[in-house]
Structure 1
Amino acid sequence: MAWLERRQIGLYLAAIAAGGSVGVVVPGTSLLEVAIYPVLGLLLYATFLGVPFASVGAALRDVRFLLAVLVVNFVFVPAVAFGLSRFVAGEPALLFGVLLVLLTPCIDYVIVFSGLAGGASDRLLAAAPLLMVTQVLLLPVYLWLILGRDGVAAVDVGPFVEAFVVLIVIPLAAAAGTQALAARYRGGRRLQAGVLGAMVPLMMATLFVVVASQAAAVRSQAAQLVILLPLYAGYLLLATALGWFVGTSFGLDVASRRAVVFSGATRNSLVVLPLALALPPELALAPVVVVTQTLVELIGMVVLVRLVPALVPHAVRERPGT
């Protein structure tokens, strides 16, 4: 397992490359889409299993961190999303897809990637319900401000509720039960150790399934989607800088600042994809727009796992009271 952890970044890149190759070459890989929630749920179960639940309670009382995450995601990011969306303002499907994905902060694998970079996973876990509720309430508002009444009419909260239950509630309950077993029984401790030792393979499986299931759809629309690559890459750069700025301005500790950076940079693409699939025919390209963001973001996350610890090093002197 130590060998896997030392080489995890290279292995994640290999999983992304393999998923892309298989998705393009092998027919029918889009059917792997049904496996996204199960593999992501297993990954999050393993992630939650490594977070002491006592620390989650303390994280809920960390008002400065919660405010920093809200400011990044619902004050600064909407302004960035609006600015970047101007580049596709003449294409309704591209515009709707870009706004849909950039306006919704991630609540699932952000916890995993932040933890890999030494971020405060427990605080992000505690913030997940707040982020979910806030984005459900504010997404229609932002779409109304930018797109008008038609943008609001297309929003359905169903996919948000389903994703929260499948990706947060169920894995969280399973992890809590496993931790309780581990505290009392040797078998529980073995199970916990085995699951935690499988983190790298689970992450590789998740990356492979997500990329392989969507690669063919992206390739088929590549000519129309090329403009999105610099747009999404630009978002990652801007959101990373904003996360660093807000985390520093709020005087957060190193782990919390790293978590704020990841919260701003990652988007809720896997949750809003079902919503995009339910859009009317004239917006049929929107799901592929969302998927393209997923592919760019996954590569960006692998880079940020290495970059963020350098951007927010432990050597930085922390302010009093952090």
Structure 2
Amino acid sequence: MDWVKPQNLVTRMEHHQIGLYLIAILTGGAIGLLAPGSAGALEHSINPILGLLLYATFLGIPFASIGKAAKDLRFMGTVMALNFVIVPVVVFGLTRFIAGDQALLLGVLLVLLTPCIDYVIVFTGLAGGSSDRLLAAAPVLMLLQMLLLPLYLLLFVGPEVVSAIDPTPFIEALVVLIIIPLGAAALTQALARTHSAGRTMMTIMQALMVPLMMGTLAVVVGSQITGVGKELGSLLAVVPLYAAFLVVMVPLGMLAAKSARLDAPATLAVIFSGATRNSLVVLPLALALPEPLSLAALVVVSQTLVELIGMILYVRYLPVLIRNENPQQPA
């Protein structure tokens, strides 16, 4: 039948991707709850499948446009100001509700103060935003958060907590999740210009975008759902904060983009960058904390679960909102 042909199947998956992502989240949760022994294997598979997802994502971005995107100072300035000036103020206000619990506070600060550098590019592209400009911004976002996170933590929780954090996982995540997939994608694109094998690889990986995103969602949820369930009582305190953050960052991102006179695709990219956090990258940081602060890791994972649902809603509704705000521009 026509719908099972590869090209038609890919088109159908792309058309129904939101529902497929919800199914992936539910499936991952069911596996994690019904087979808790699988959590370790699922956790070890997060970085490999996320790396493949990012490789496929980077393949779809023309590298020739990155230089131009990097020179877009209005966009770069807006993204940096939103993430490193406005977001910390929002996070400080939200965390006053849990300031008395150091583990909860540290977990929320770790994840909300660090802008996403990986799958935000995927979600931005799905929504029709400027994923190439976010790709150009990713190295700067990563460098600045590595430099500024200790300063924010010094201000918000004090020096004794900062000294317990090992920065090594940040560097490892940068290499594994950004540099290696980015380099592999650049080489594949170069190969595709002269060899059919490169073009075939690009076709295959781009057809796998939706399945890879589904796999990423499933393994993240499946690997952590049991731990979240055990500490549900404590973690419920942070869920409203994460939901509030996702809601607040929409008008703040729109305002920042409007002030910079950005177009609709760039506005979408700014909002996604401001709202999407670096949970998969800071999770190793949280897991390396001493025992009294061990709950922080599950606090980070809780943000991932809330954010994944939020991103699905963002992809579905933000383009409509931005299009209504900018009727003269396609979103």
Deviations 1:59-116 (A, max 9, x none): 1101111100011101111011111111111111001101111100000000000000
Q: Contact 1:159 / 1:274 at 8 angstroms: preserved in 2?
A: yes
Q: CA RMSD in A?
A: 1.3
Q: Does residue 12 of structure 2 align to residue 20 of structure 1? A: no
Match of 1:110 in 2: 120
How far has the Cα of 1:307 moved from its partner?
1.5
- Secondary structure at the residue paired with 1:118? coil
Rounded to whole Å, the distance in 2 between the matches of 1:232 and 1:154 is 24
Q: Contact 2:279 / 2:304 at 8 angstroms: preserved in 1?
A: yes
How far has the Cα of 1:125 moved from its partner?
0.6
Q: Does residue 17 of structure 2 align to residue 8 of structure 1? A: yes
Match of 1:158 in 2: 168
Q: Contact 2:116 / 2:273 at 8 angstroms: preserved in 1?
A: yes
Rounded to whole Å, the distance in 2 between the matches of 1:246 and 1:152 is 31
1:276 to 276, 286, 290: 286
Q: Does residue 319 of structure 2 align to residue 309 of structure 1? A: yes
Q: Contact 1:253 / 1:318 at 8 angstroms: preserved in 2?
A: no
Match of 2:275 in 1: 265
How far has the Cα of 1:318 moved from its partner?
6.7
Q: Contact 1:119 / 1:256 at 8 angstroms: preserved in 2?
A: yes
Rounded to whole Å, the distance in 2 between the matches of 1:101 and 1:187 is 40
Q: Contact 2:165 / 2:288 at 8 angstroms: preserved in 1?
A: no
Q: Contact 1:251 / 1:318 at 8 angstroms: preserved in 2?
A: no
Identity %: 58
The normalised TM-score by structure 1 is: 0.97
Rounded to whole Å, the distance in 2 between the matches of 1:109 and 1:195 is 16
- More deviation in 146-155 or 91-100? 146-155
- Secondary structure at the residue paired with 2:261? coil
Deviations 1:238-283 (A, max 9, x none): 1122111111111111111100000001001111111111111111
Q: Does residue 307 of structure 2 align to residue 297 of structure 1? A: yes
Match of 1:232 in 2: 242
The normalised TM-score by structure 2 is: 0.94
Q: Contact 1:254 / 1:318 at 8 angstroms: preserved in 2?
A: no
- Secondary structure at the residue paired with 2:239? helix
How far has the Cα of 1:156 moved from its partner?
2.3
How far has the Cα of 1:154 moved from its partner?
2.5
Rounded to whole Å, the distance in 1 between the matches of 2:158 and 2:325 is 47
- More deviation in 46-55 or 81-90? 81-90
Rounded to whole Å, the distance in 1 between the matches of 2:328 and 2:164 is 45
Rounded to whole Å, the distance in 1 between the matches of 2:325 and 2:253 is 18
- Secondary structure at the residue paired with 1:28? helix
- Secondary structure at the residue paired with 1:107? coil
Rounded to whole Å, the distance in 1 between the matches of 2:192 and 2:324 is 32
Deviations 1:207-240 (A, max 9, x none): 1111100111100100111111111100100112
Rounded to whole Å, the distance in 2 between the matches of 1:173 and 1:6 is 30
1:83 to 80, 93, 103: 93
Rounded to whole Å, the distance in 1 between the matches of 2:324 and 2:201 is 33
Rounded to whole Å, the distance in 2 between the matches of 1:162 and 1:63 is 29
Rounded to whole Å, the distance in 2 between the matches of 1:154 and 1:34 is 24
Q: Runs of 5+ in structure 2 lacking a partner?
A: 1-9
Q: Contact 1:252 / 1:318 at 8 angstroms: preserved in 2?
A: no
Q: Runs of 5+ in structure 1 lacking a partner?
A: none
Kindly provide the amino acid, as one letter, of the partner of residue 230 in structure 1: P
Deviations 1:160-191 (A, max 9, x none): 11111101100001101111111111222111
Q: Does residue 157 of structure 2 align to residue 147 of structure 1? A: yes
How many residue pairs match? The answer is 319
How far has the Cα of 1:27 moved from its partner?
2.2
Q: Does residue 183 of structure 2 align to residue 173 of structure 1? A: yes
Q: Contact 2:111 / 2:279 at 8 angstroms: preserved in 1?
A: yes
